[in-house]
Amino acid sequence: MRARTCFQRALISAALLWVMTFGFSFARADDWPQFRGPKRDGVSRETGLLNSWPKEGPKLLWTYRDAGAGFSPPSIVGDHFYCMGSKDTMDYVFALDTRTGELLWSTAVGPRRPTGWGDGPCATPTVDGDRLYALSILGELHCIERATGKSLWNVHLKNELGGKVLHDGRYTESCLIDGDRLICSPGGKNGTMAALDKRTGKVIWHSKGLTDEAVCSSPILVEIDGIRQYVNLTGKGVAGVAADDGRLLWKNSLPTAWIMVATPVSFQDCIYVTAAYGVGCGLLKLSREGEGIKADLVFRNKLMKNHHSGVILVNGMVFGNSDPNGWICQDFETGKAIWDERFTFDKGSIAYAEGHLYCYGESKGEVALIEASAKGWIEKGRFMIPEQTKIPRKQGKIWTPPVIANGRLYLRDNDLIFCYDIKRS
């Protein structure tokens, strides 16, 4: 990219700030402003998308080759793409123009932490109005001005909030914005979850009665019988804390594994959870009990052992990859298998839009479009990303799930980001 003068950069920053403040402060229905989309369920509400792909796949619009190491999925709001990556010794948040793939700004948010499974941050920046919130791999949480990339405040989940993470100390969650509050999971003796003032970063509460270590999962907001609560996996299972003061409402040991990544899925009064390493899945039914919540086990089995990418709930069916059982369609209410496909497609991640699953293989970068149906694996197209990263993978693979926003499909392989046109003409 050609270097800009200071004057040109100032003009661009001022123009972007005006647009973000007055033009699109609120996310549109077809944006993807946070981890797993508008409702944190991996579902895009877009319509008018291709319902089959040509042999060569949808049209590739642009490729960005300097995202750095990492597995962070992007957030998309309007014409702006926000993501994270590691370069040299630091983790960065960066912004791209979705129309061209051009870099708009890049901001360091904390030291890089090399690992044996592949380097780089895993969190998705959460967009809220004219700000975004991003968490580095070592737990440095930043509030950043969307227009300029300027860090407005930062809090360290470990050093300042006393946090502790299960396994190897890496923070991978994507924080949740709820009104004026930012919900995160430092983990540890001060409280597994915490609510911060999103404007200042000041602590509002630490969870009371819940001091488990944090894991790789991200929190969701649910309301049961008039009680608003935040639900997330912890080092000892799954739990819900009250939104108003962080008091523990309920807790269950389902699931418990040494690494837990998949975000809980909520529907009506039920919470579905899953983990790999032989643990499996289960469904809890929540109901009010006095000022608290009780969690009754509906089922527990080992059909869905999801490793990295989470699962999708559509029309009463849970879709996802079960390690090592392949791709699974499971009845949400009973936990029984509807179908499985073990050999057709690689293990990988998943997203959903307009009746179709977008499956992204972790080994070769193959992408498949599948009907979200009880009838089985009905494929509507398949293609391969045009190139793979040259960054050494170590034990890591392609673990960034696909993102669908504004008629486009975004795929990542470490430093490479691909943008495809999937809108029907």
Cα-only R_g, the chain: 20
- pLDDT of res. 29: 63
Three-state DSSP class for residue 300: strand
CA 97 from centre of chain: 21
* Nearest C-alpha neighbor of 70 from the set 105, 108, 119, 35: 119
Is 19 in a helix, a strand, or coil? helix
Supply the pLDDT for residue 22.
Answer: 33
Q: Which of 3-12, 254-263, 356-365 is least confident?
A: 3-12
Quick one: which H or E segment has residue 8? helix 6-18
CA atoms in the 13 A half-sphere facing the CB of 77: 28
Q: Residue 14 pLDDT > 60, yes or no? A: no
Does residue 150 contact residue 106 with C-beta atoms inside 8 Å? Answer: no
* Stretch 72-94: mean pLDDT: 97
200-213 burial string, b = 16+ CB within 10 Å, else e? ebebbbbbeebbbb
Contact 62, 88 (CB under 8 A): no
pTM tops 0.85, yes or no: yes
269 burial via Cβ count (<10 Å: 0-12, 13-18, 19+): middle
Task: Report residue 27's pLDDT band, with 50, 70 and 90 as the boundaries.
Answer: low
Number of structural domains in the chain: 1
Quick one: average pLDDT of 389-418?
Answer: 95
Cis ω before 73 (30° cut-off from 0)? no
User: By percentage, how much of the chain surpasses pLDDT 70?
Assistant: 93
What digits encode the pLDDT tens for the residues 325-342?
899 999 999 999 999 999
Residue 287 lies in a domain: yes
- Tokens 């970063």: give the residue: 201
> Within a domain: residue 385?
yes
| Predicted local confidence at residue 114, as pLDDT | 77
Rounded percentage of the chain residues whose pLDDT exceeds 90: 86
Question: In the chain, what is the straight-line distance between the N-terminal and C-terminal CA atoms, in Å?
Answer: 31
- What are the two backbone dihedrals, phi and then psi, of residue 367, each rounded to the nearest 5 degrees? -125, 135
94 within domain boundaries: yes
Distance CA 215, CA 327 (A): 24
Please answer whether residues 307 and 257 qualify as being in contact, where contact means their C-beta atoms are separated by less than 8 angstroms.
no
| pLDDT confidence of residue 100 | 98
Q: Is 365 left (phi over 0), alpha (psi -120 to 50) or beta?
A: left
Domain membership of residue 328 as a residue range: 6-421
Whether the predicted pLDDT of 355 surpasses 60? yes
pLDDT tier at 255, thresholds 50, 70, 90: confident
Residues 6+ away with beta carbon under 8 Å from 395: 116, 117, 118
Per-residue pLDDT band for 61 (boundaries 50, 70, 90) equals very high
Query: Can you point out the beta strands (E) in 11-137?
Result: 43-44, 59-64, 75-77, 80-87, 90-97, 103-111, 126-128, 131-135
Mean pLDDT, residues 211-219 taken together: 96
Residue holding tokens 């944006």?
31
Strands 43-44 and 348-353: parallel
Q: Is residue 22 part of a domain?
A: yes
Mean pLDDT across the stretch 239-245?
A: 98
The mean-pLDDT minimum among 234-238, 289-293, 294-298, 326-330 falls in 289-293
Q: Which two tokens stand for residue 2?
A: 């050609």
- Is 236 inside a domain boundary? yes
Any domain includes 1 = no
**Is the confidence at residue 11, as pLDDT, over 70?**
no
The confidence band for 28, taking pLDDT boundaries of 50, 70 and 90, is low
CATH code: domain of residue 136: 2.130.10.10
Q: Are 151 and 143 in contact (CB under 8 A)?
A: yes
Mean pLDDT on 304-332: 96
